[in-house]
Chains A and B, each alone.
Chain A
């Protein structure tokens, strides 16, 4: 039980990863695939942020009262990495939505089965 309580956040993150992958693989609607992709990416961001959690520490800016003991400060690196990764994720989502727009205009549908059928027929 204690094992579970100590790590419950990781189980939630793993659950989010699975939800995201489920959306990507099983949903027929391409927009839902994009939603699944976003959930998947968000789970990864949370994994990094969770790893950097430190209870009782403050932001990593030097405070004369606290001194230089690293225990009192958060590690900023994971947060910086995730800020960068979020930017990448936004760009990927943006391109995905732009592609969906073009698919919708060309085939009038976002359902994977319908689009692929029309692709084969239209040749």
Chain B
């Protein structure tokens, strides 16, 4: 049992390595290994959740070296929550992947699958590690895999990814510099050890510099407004599978790392009182929510709309950090899982539509409700969740965030959440209306590129792509209905340091 924290990233790393060589011999072998590896890690994560609920947190010391000198991996409620989300989304996407990749980026499958496993290994490592330098390494592993996965899109993708890479490298650099300041003032890298030593050093200028640098670096990586400029192009030009995998979990993991720093490394009072970092993050989040939602309305490309909406949605998580009270932070953390399910579902739906019709422009979506009924049922669920209609998952995270704003007495945050829900209603109902409109008959000028017997001859997506999308839609409903379980068992203990 105590090996679980190491087994999850370990399995994924080994999978990436083995699948690369298997894929060189025969692509299907590489694919089979990846599915097996990611599936196994998902099962281990679920076992990890049950172990954490029964026995409390599990700590694993790499190579038997005792912390604070050795590297420690920690499975506590919050990290168990994160790895289950990461491996779960990963498993859904890998089941979905083959048809879509073969269609959008033929000939690259052999390298695609190992990169997915490597990305998940990096993200799982970030969630589990109890060491601030180790976190840097894993965040960079995940970023390297993400660059590769995103850059195989159309011919504009490398330009967008190059910008992402520069932003990411600077973000990683700031974080590493912060680690340096922290190490030279506190003399340790272990998170639990740091938490004991830092309170004496609250007035030290280098600890303050460390906090600022680390949060800035992670802010760049999580696309916190106004550092989000790299994001829309990257998601827009990427293959559907990459966007469907990376949009849900990549930026969230950086947000999670900020939460870790906030709760477990620096004491919450440091981020709230000594240095008003959370307040700043909260107000930046307000900017991100408004800018992301308004720009999403202006887009006619479906993927670009989703990308801008991601900027807005990641800001909800940041808003939860900004509220800095238990119920607000629970809302932010719950939004990590909710948004991951919703955005994963939506990007994969975009992939289904692209496979069958080749369309990405919203004005040409008319008639899809009839041509692809099941995909569009999933789309309806996800869109309602994005707007925040109960009982979908999206409602509850916003509800907790609203309660948190009331708790903090911050009525501007309250108003922003309401307004942005209305804005997302505008851009999602616009698509819904288009989807369920009658298909234009083929002689529509430039609209509806295909012709002969209805605008969309392709029909419903193949089962391997439809089932993951529907599974995500069902998950959105289930997480919405059973959110109390997640909140009570996993998130409530995680935000305990705030309640003191």
- Chain A residues packing against B (C-beta within 8 Å): 17, 21, 24, 30, 33, 37, 40-41, 44, 47-48, 51, 77-78, 81, 84-85, 88, 91-92, 95-96, 99-100, 102-103, 106-107, 115-116, 119, 122
Given contacts A99-B147, A99-B161, contact A33 B155 (CB under 8 A): no
Q: Are A37's CB and B170's CB within 8 A? A: yes
- Chain B residues packing against A (C-beta within 8 Å): 133, 136-137, 140, 143-144, 147-148, 151, 155-156, 158-159, 161-162, 165-166, 168-170, 172-173, 176-177, 180, 183-184, 189
Which of chain B's residues has its CB closest to A95's CB?
B147
* 5 closest residue pairs by CB, A with B: A102-B158, A106-B155, A99-B158, A88-B140, A99-B162
State which of A44, A77, A78 has its C-beta within 8 Å of the C-beta of B173: A44
Q: Are B137's CB and A88's CB within 8 A? A: yes
Given contacts A88-B137, A99-B158, A106-B158, contact A37 B183 (CB under 8 A): no
Q: Are B180's CB and A44's CB within 8 A? A: yes
Q: Are A103's CB and B162's CB within 8 A? A: yes
CB contacts (< 8 Å) of B176 on chain A: these are 44, 85
Which of chain B's residues has its CB closest to A100's CB?
B162
8 residue pairs of the A-B complex, CB under 8 angstroms, read: A47-B177, A47-B180, A92-B140, A92-B169, A96-B165, A100-B162, A103-B162, A106-B158
CB contacts (< 8 Å) of A84 on chain B: these are 133, 137
Which of chain B's residues has its CB closest to A81's CB?
B133
Q: Shortest CB–CB separation between residue B271 and chain A, in angstroms?
A: 24
Which of chain A's residues has its CB closest to B144's CB?
A91
Which of chain B's residues has its CB closest to A41's CB?
B173
Taken together as a complex, chains A and B put the C-alpha atoms of A40 and B171 apart, in Å, by 11
Q: Are B144's CB and A92's CB within 8 A? A: yes
CB contacts (< 8 Å) of B162 on chain A: these are 30, 96, 99-100, 103
Which of chain B's residues has its CB closest to A36's CB?
B166
CB contacts (< 8 Å) of A51 on chain B: these are 180, 183-184
Q: Are B133's CB and A95's CB within 8 A? A: no
Taken together as a complex, chains A and B put the C-alpha atoms of A65 and B133 apart, in Å, by 34
Q: Shortest CB–CB separation between residue A51 and chain B, in angstroms?
A: 5
Q: Shortest CB–CB separation between residue B268 and chain A, in angstroms?
A: 27
Q: Are B180's CB and A48's CB within 8 A? A: yes
Q: Are B183's CB and A78's CB within 8 A? A: yes
Taken together as a complex, chains A and B put the C-alpha atoms of A66 and B147 apart, in Å, by 49
CB contacts (< 8 Å) of B140 on chain A: these are 88, 91-92
Given contacts A44-B177, A81-B133, contact A95 B159 (CB under 8 A): no
Taken together as a complex, chains A and B put the C-alpha atoms of A40 and B136 apart, in Å, by 16
With A51-B180, A103-B159 already in contact, 16 other A-B pairs whose C-beta atoms are closer than 8 Å: A24-B166, A30-B162, A37-B169, A37-B170, A40-B173, A41-B169, A51-B184, A84-B133, A92-B168, A95-B148, A96-B162, A99-B147, A99-B151, A106-B158, A107-B159, A119-B159
Taken together as a complex, chains A and B put the C-alpha atoms of A107 and B140 apart, in Å, by 28
Taken together as a complex, chains A and B put the C-alpha atoms of A78 and B114 apart, in Å, by 31
Q: Shortest CB–CB separation between residue B201 and chain A, in angstroms?
A: 16
CB contacts (< 8 Å) of B180 on chain A: these are 44, 47-48, 51
Q: Shortest CB–CB separation between residue A66 and chain B, in angstroms?
A: 21
Given contacts A41-B173, A78-B183, A99-B147, contact A92 B165 (CB under 8 A): yes
CB contacts (< 8 Å) of A115 on chain B: these are 159
State which of A33, A77, A88 has its C-beta within 8 Å of the C-beta of B166: A33
CB contacts (< 8 Å) of A91 on chain B: these are 140, 144
CB contacts (< 8 Å) of A122 on chain B: these are 155-156
Q: Shortest CB–CB separation between residue B134 and chain A, in angstroms?
A: 9
Q: Shortest CB–CB separation between residue B212 and chain A, in angstroms?
A: 14
CB contacts (< 8 Å) of A21 on chain B: these are 170
CB contacts (< 8 Å) of B173 on chain A: these are 40-41, 44
Which of chain B's residues has its CB closest to A103's CB?
B158
Taken together as a complex, chains A and B put the C-alpha atoms of A44 and B173 apart, in Å, by 7
CB contacts (< 8 Å) of A99 on chain B: these are 147, 151, 158, 161-162, 165
The residue among B169, B170, B177 with the most chain A CB atoms within 10 A of its own CB is B169
Q: Shortest CB–CB separation between residue A8 and chain B, in angstroms?
A: 17
Q: Shortest CB–CB separation between residue A39 and chain B, in angstroms?
A: 11
CB contacts (< 8 Å) of B161 on chain A: these are 99
CB contacts (< 8 Å) of A102 on chain B: these are 151, 158
Taken together as a complex, chains A and B put the C-alpha atoms of A77 and B180 apart, in Å, by 11
Which of chain A's residues has its CB closest to B233's CB?
A119
Which of chain A's residues has its CB closest to B175's CB?
A44
Taken together as a complex, chains A and B put the C-alpha atoms of A104 and B19 apart, in Å, by 30
Q: Are B144's CB and A95's CB within 8 A? A: yes
CB contacts (< 8 Å) of B166 on chain A: these are 24, 33, 37, 96
CB contacts (< 8 Å) of B156 on chain A: these are 119, 122
Taken together as a complex, chains A and B put the C-alpha atoms of A30 and B256 apart, in Å, by 31
CB contacts (< 8 Å) of B159 on chain A: these are 103, 107, 115-116, 119
Which of chain B's residues has its CB closest to A93's CB?
B169
Q: Shortest CB–CB separation between residue B141 and chain A, in angstroms?
A: 8
CB contacts (< 8 Å) of A103 on chain B: these are 158-159, 162
Q: Are B165's CB and A95's CB within 8 A? A: yes
CB contacts (< 8 Å) of A95 on chain B: these are 144, 147-148, 165
The residue among B136, B151, B165, B189 with the most chain A CB atoms within 10 A of its own CB is B165
CB contacts (< 8 Å) of B148 on chain A: these are 95
CB contacts (< 8 Å) of B143 on chain A: these are 92
Q: Shortest CB–CB separation between residue A3 and chain B, in angstroms?
A: 15
Taken together as a complex, chains A and B put the C-alpha atoms of A41 and B158 apart, in Å, by 22
CB contacts (< 8 Å) of B183 on chain A: these are 51, 77-78
Taken together as a complex, chains A and B put the C-alpha atoms of A37 and B170 apart, in Å, by 7
Taken together as a complex, chains A and B put the C-alpha atoms of A51 and B159 apart, in Å, by 37
CB contacts (< 8 Å) of A17 on chain B: these are 177
